[in-house]
Amino acid sequence: MTITNSNNPLLAGLNPAQAAAVSHDGGPLLVIAGAGSGKTRVLTRRIAYLIEAKEVHPGSILAITFTNKAAAEMKERVNELVGPIAKSMWVSTFHSACVRILRNHPEALGYRKNFVIYDQDDAEKLISLISSSMGLDTKRFPTRQSASRISNAKSELLGPKELMAKATHIMERKVAEVYAQYQERLLGANAMDFDDLIYKTHELFERYPAILEQYQRRFFHLLVDEYQDTNVAQNALVMQLGERSRNVFVVGDSDQSVYGFRGADMRNILEFEKAFEDVAVIKLEQNYRSTQTILDVANSIISNNQYREAKNLWTDQGSGEKVRLFVGDDDSEESNFIASSILRERETGGRRYSDFAVFYRINSNSRSVEEAFIRRGIPYRVVGGTRFYDRREIKDTMSYLRLIQNPTDEIALRRVINVPKRGIGDQSIAKVATLAAEMGTTLVDALSKYEAAGVTGRAKSGIADFLVLMEALRGHVRDEMPPGELIEAFLDESGYRSELAANDSVDNLSRLDNLSELVSVASEHETLEAFLDASALVAQADQIQGDDVVTLMTVHTAKGLEYPVVFLTALEDGIFPHSRSLYEPKELEEERRLCYVGVTRAREILYLTRANQRSQYGESSLTIPSRFLDEIPPSLIEDVSVRLSYEERRSRYLGDSVVQSASGLSSSTLKRYGTTSNSTKVDSGPRLSVSQLKPGIPVVHGSWGEGVVTAIDGNGDNASVTIRFSSVGSKKLILSYAPLKLA
């Protein structure tokens, strides 16, 4: 039932429970409800309602969303409803809000205003430097593992001392030691990592009650979307900020808590009810997104979880079509089925590419789907693939910008000191580092004393040139050169552009294109600091844009989104549910919630797919169907798999020449789906060897077409080759398996 209240258009198009949440009087409110029940819609409306009906000043609202994209959308919608005063409102992710706060009080924590933000890669580099200086064996202490322990500690508000106190054996003590040094080095470099943004804001508020009070008074209304995935530290921040006004409005779904590994904790919801005893709780049960069949599938899966409060989603939109199950012989057949189905539904069902999304549990599963899409010419975007900001030329440039802004950034310095080449080798850096240790200063401070450090030869003039360059670039910033122009100046004055232009390989041309793209992004910002902050906070889900393309992403990234047609792929035990969860009941429940998230993204049609054989890491093996499939009543499923005849199957495995369709689908299937393939199916001929390749050599790949070798690592059967393809960008392949020939 929907109220159409002509007196209050802000409540129009809401059901009674939703309207009650939107028009809530004040004080703590928890909206706890299943997927697609309008939580995000209610939160958006609530903001508009506060401003319009309650005459709350937008500047006193802080709304937290999961991605920057969601924040922008919410701002836009509020803007439509209440006009430009919406601008003074803070709608952002936890991280973005914290950066804004920290920039106002860096000195309180011993930082300078121009601190920079390290991404995961920078953080790992620093941790690896520390581990090796401590003489830790990287086999016993893999950098990635130490990094994730430190990250977990921060998200649980444990500092190095607390982590040390909790340590029960030597390994944990070592990690705590690394953590302590890591924090010191970050401070020395005037840098914070991602987790610090939350951790340090919490610390700021704890240590300075007056500062906390300032924000408590400013943000009189606090709203949080996807509350089930806030971690301990984020939750503590919500409690700090909301303590005074108690106007804390949170929406979430405990069945969608899927970031346990990041320290997100669905107990927050339970604790919220404890912290605010007078909390009003509103449940929403009507779903407006999906068909009843899709909801029945979702309910049947999630009801197998022990640790949950039972709730049942329903819709009045009708049962819709059964969900479609496809079982392929192998992953390429599965992928080809997905591609054919999309083409067919686009031709006959009047859909656009952007109506479709393909979800997978692990990133590597996108490869086979991408190959099928490329063969059929289906435009797509992989969300969360190699990010623009992770590309080499972009990282180099960004590191320069960071170093301009913050001269003490050690990781940026190490990255760019010899880029472009200035004859400064590792030995020279080591000499400077030794001097820095002796003097008790940072690497950057010691750099200007390179002669005293004993640096000789070309490296000497190299460092001198570098220092002159940095000084010139910092001069531009003092002259208030805007960030776009600053990048241009850097590219010219450093020789970075001319180095790339000297060799006009496809690779370098695309790097130059990417750099122009960076200049145009930077030009949207007024100051270097604003640009650096914005680029550090780009979340994976922010890569989703409005073009007419099929979206590929992991199920984690799909949270909060919806698509008319969804493919949930690789439903196999060991993949989805993930192998590490199979013997851990708690983790298995998290996998089940993740599956529930995937299913409930679909509005009209849901495909569930799997393959009997899957190749991973270059090996093909038999699979076991996902246990989640067994949890769905057969009456809700239509099996659309194609049974190949013995002849078809035999000819497929004997060689491609017999079967014209290289897609893996039988000709009858192709007829049924109205498509044909112009595939260049990968042949199984002899593979290239290391001796035939070197960087710069053009090659052709069976699926991805032309590319240029950029690196070769290892040799023999283990050799891998990195190739930059014009179709899909850079890929690292195992040479002995990769279907390559020389161009």
Q: How many CA atoms lie within 13 A of 310 on its CB side?
A: 3
Site for Mg ion in 169-208 (CB under 5 A): none
> Is 675 known to be catalytic?
no
Long-range contacts, stretch 642-647, CB < 8 angstroms, 24+ apart: 642/337, 642/666, 642/668, 642/669, 642/672, 644/329
Kindly name the residue from 256, 315, 397, 543 that is annotated as catalytic.
256
Rounded least distance, CB 278 to ligand ATP, Å? 24
Rounded least distance, CB 50 to Mg ion, Å? 19
> Is 38 known to sit in a ligand binding site?
yes
Q: Are 230 and 224 in contact (CB under 8 A)?
A: yes
Site of tokens 């940026």: 412
Q: Is 40 in the site for Mg ion (CB under 5 A)?
A: yes
Out of ligand ATP, Mg ion, none, what residue 13 binds, judged by CB under 5 to 8 A for its kind, is ligand ATP
> Is 370 known to be catalytic?
no
Which CB atom, from 40 or from 60, has the smaller least distance to ligand ATP? 40
Kindly name the residue from 119, 193, 195, 225 that is annotated as catalytic.
225
Site string for Mg ion, 507-546 (x = CB under 5 A): ----------------------------------------
Q: Measured between alpha carbons, how far is 68 from 91 in angstroms, rounded to an integer?
A: 9
Q: 249 to each of 671, 677, 730, how far by Cα in Å?
A: 54, 53, 44
Name the helix (H) or strand (E) containing 329: strand 323-330
Torsion, CA 62, CA 65, CA 70, CA 74, rounded to 10: -30
Q: Measured between alpha carbons, how far is 652 from 654 in angstroms, rounded to an integer?
A: 6
CA angle 400/405/407 to nearest 5° reads 80
Please count the other Cβ atoms lying within 10 Å of the Cβ belonging to residue 572. Answer: 22
Interface ranges with ligand ATP (CB under 6 A): 2, 13-15, 18, 33, 35-41, 253, 256, 288-289, 560, 562
Which CB atom, from 31 or from 611, has the smaller least distance to Mg ion? 31
Which CB atom, from 75 or from 375, has the smaller least distance to Mg ion? 75
Out of ligand ATP, Mg ion, none, what residue 41 binds, judged by CB under 5 to 8 A for its kind, is ligand ATP
Kindly name the residue from 39, 41, 75, 614 that is annotated as catalytic.
39
Which CB atom, from 252 or from 707, has the smaller least distance to ligand ATP? 252
Which CB atom, from 432 or from 539, has the smaller least distance to Mg ion? 539
Rounded least distance, CB 434 to ligand ATP, Å? 54
Rounded least distance, CB 100 to Mg ion, Å? 24
> Is 569 known to be catalytic?
no
Rounded least distance, CB 563 to ligand ATP, Å? 11
Which CB atom, from 49 or from 380, has the smaller least distance to Mg ion? 49
Site of tokens 């030329």: 393
Please count the other Cβ atoms lying within 10 Å of the Cβ belonging to residue 619. Answer: 8
Rounded least distance, CB 292 to ligand ATP, Å? 14
Which CB atom, from 185 or from 593, has the smaller least distance to ligand ATP? 593
Q: 594 to each of 360, 541, 571, 667, 702, how far by Cα in Å?
A: 11, 16, 12, 36, 34
> Is 225 known to be catalytic?
yes
Torsion, CA 730, CA 734, CA 739, CA 743, rounded to 10: 50
Which CB atom, from 177 or from 225, has the smaller least distance to Mg ion? 225
> Is 39 known to sit in a ligand binding site?
yes
> Is 37 known to sit in a ligand binding site?
yes
Residues contacting Mg ion: total by CB under 5 A: 3
Dihedrals phi, psi of 413, to nearest 5 degrees: -60, -50
* DSSP secondary structure code for residue 54 in this structure: S
Out of Mg ion, ligand ATP, none, what residue 253 binds, judged by CB under 5 to 8 A for its kind, is ligand ATP
Q: 50 to each of 58, 123, 243, 443, 658, how far by Cα in Å?
A: 8, 40, 19, 51, 68
Question: What counts of helices (H) and strands (E) characterise the chain?
Answer: 29, 21
Out of Mg ion, ligand ATP, none, what residue 367 binds, judged by CB under 5 to 8 A for its kind, is none
The three-state secondary structure class of 700 is strand
Amino acid sitting at position 204: L
Dihedrals phi, psi of 39, to nearest 5 degrees: -60, -50
> Is 35 known to sit in a ligand binding site?
yes
Site string for Mg ion, 464-493 (x = CB under 5 A): ------------------------------
Out of Mg ion, ligand ATP, none, what residue 234 binds, judged by CB under 5 to 8 A for its kind, is none
450, two tokens: 């390179």
Dihedrals phi, psi of 304, to nearest 5 degrees: -80, -10
Q: Is 151 in the site for Mg ion (CB under 5 A)?
A: no
Q: Are 401 and 487 in contact (CB under 8 A)?
A: yes
Dihedrals phi, psi of 616, to nearest 5 degrees: -140, 145
Q: Is 240 in the site for Mg ion (CB under 5 A)?
A: no
Rounded least distance, CB 162 to ligand ATP, Å? 34
Taking CB under 5 A as the criterion, the residue among 34, 242, 328, 560 binding Mg ion is 560
Kindly name the residue from 41, 376, 391, 601 that is annotated as catalytic.
601
Rounded least distance, CB 21 to Mg ion, Å? 13
> Is 40 known to be catalytic?
yes
> Is 39 known to be catalytic?
yes
Using CB under 5 A as the criterion, which residues of the chain lie in contact with Mg ion when the complex forms? 39-40, 560
Residues placed in the known binding site: 33-40
Specify binding-site residues for ATP.
33-40
Catalytic residues: 39-40, 225-226, 256, 601
